[in-house]
Amino acid sequence: MNTLYGSTPEEIEALVVSSGFPKYRAAQLVDWIYQKNVLAWDEIRNLPKDALQKLSEKTQLTALELVEEKKAAAGSTVKFLFKTEDGHFLESVLIPQREDDEEPGGRQTVCVSTQLGCKVQCVFCASGQGKFTRNLTAGEIVEQVARIARLTGKKITNVVFMGMGEPLDNFEATMKAIHILIEPWGFAFGARRVTVSTSGITPKILEFVKAVDGRVRLSVSLHSSIDDVRSSLVPINRRYPLKDLMSALRRINRDLKREITFEYTLIAGVNDTAEEAEGVSILAKPLKAKINVIPYNPIAEYPEKAPTPEAAEDFCRELENRGLRVTLRQTAGREIEAACGQLRLDRVRRKE
């Protein structure tokens, strides 16, 4: 479905001109959509009523509807469940961070989904458990950012492609959404404020980095330094094993000198050993990669345990002692089912 969210200035201009209105009306529309984040036609004030009427007959402005909003605690993660036009659910998260020197107003990160379900099927992830339905459009991706900005009144500072779905498996829409997010006529985020997280589709990683000239941040879900363990957690590792993945990342690091981040979901008794810490350091050190350690957020479908806070800290210390930069992520959203895709999965099951 075609919506104005997700359209480029050229596409909006073609629509405006073919509807019999002057070109400059397109620039006005682009501004209302991406800078002011309007969500209804009647919020657009400097276009004649007949123009808005005619355009609304030809196209839609938006494609999503808010179904549920869940907040963990004051100042903490907020989760949003949206419904698409064809009746499917997707989720997005707002992650506020405290003020610091770098971000005096506090960072406000929106985590967007790129697919309904996910074909990668990581065993510990709720998104991978539900049925894969379809890719999201670029409009449905960027509209999540606009809606959260409007719903919360917050100035969104960062966008991460870490919600439901594998962004590089929906390559075209992801690239178009990034374009809209970082262009000055669009949401105008600095490219370094946008992060794409991938499970490791090696050829697509190279294509992605080349397309954005390394400007948009890349985060790779590592989860293990041992092929067998990684394959049991992230099945796509059988197709793109660590050797191939690391050789692609080394190329990116060498040619573009870009920083790479590894995400590491820490699962008690599965990938929290000293052998893993050593393996991770061997992989990450030559790339000077940063490691985000995320304690596993248990889901019913994967009955392993979250590490204790002490065990998570010990694992991080093991990495730090080997000279790596490590961040231990808080699981602030556990009480609101903030595990990737969990809120949607519950809703889909209730519907079934």
User: Contacting ligand SF4 (CB under 6 A), which of 6, 139, 165, 214?
Assistant: 165
Does residue number 127 form part of the binding site for ligand SF4 (CB under 6 A)? yes
- Using CB under 6 A as the binding criterion, the count of chain residues that bind ligand SF4 stands at 12
The closest of 62, 64, 63, 56 to 16, measured between CA atoms, is 56
Comparison of 164 and 245: residue with beta carbon closer to ligand SF4: 164
| Alpha helical stretches, state H, 171-324 | 171-182, 202-211, 227-233, 242-256, 274-284, 309-321
> Is 68 one of the annotated active-site residues of the chain?
no
Q: Positive or negative CA dihedral for 274, 277, 278, 279?
A: positive
Query: Are 298 and 334 contacting, i.e. CB atoms less than 8 angstroms apart?
Result: no
Give which of 208, 197, 195, 260 is closest to 234, Cα–Cα: 197
Instruction: By CB under 6 A, tell whether 263 contacts ligand SF4.
Output: no
Decide if 259 contacts 288 (C-beta within 8 A): yes
Q: How many CB atoms lie within 10 A of CB 279?
A: 19
Report yes or no: 160 and 216 within 8 Å, Cβ to Cβ. no
3-state SS, residue 302:
strand
Among 111, 125, 146, 173, which residue interacts with ligand SF4 (rule: CB under 6 A)? 125
- Measured CA to CA, the distance from residue 205 to residue 79 in angstroms comes to 28
Q: Tell me the closest approach of the beta carbon of residue 224 to ligand SF4, in angstroms.
A: 13
Give the tokens for residue 343. Answer: 């809120």
Applying CB under 6 A, the span of 8-16, 28-36, 159-167, 246-254 interacting with ligand SF4 comes to: 159-167
Contact pattern for ligand SF4 over residues 206 through 245, marking x by CB under 6 A:
----------------------------------------
279 binds ligand SF4 (CB under 6 A): no
Question: Least CB distance from residue 162 to ligand SF4, whole Å?
Answer: 7
| Shortest Cβ 235–ligand SF4 spacing (Å) | 9
Segment lying near ligand SF4 (by CB under 6 A), choices 27-35, 120-128, 136-144, 285-293: 120-128
Please give the residue whose beta carbon sits closest to ligand SF4 in the complex: 128
Q: Which helix (H) or strand (E) holds 152?
A: helix 138-152
DSSP 8-state symbol, 325? E
Which is the catalytic residue, given 111, 118, 122, 340? 340
Told to judge if 207 belongs to the known catalytic residues of this protein, a careful annotator would answer no
User: Does 166 help bind ligand SF4 (rule: CB under 6 A)?
Assistant: yes
Active site residues: 91, 340
Residues in contact with ligand SF4 by CB under 6 A are 118, 120-122, 125, 127-128, 164-166, 199, 340
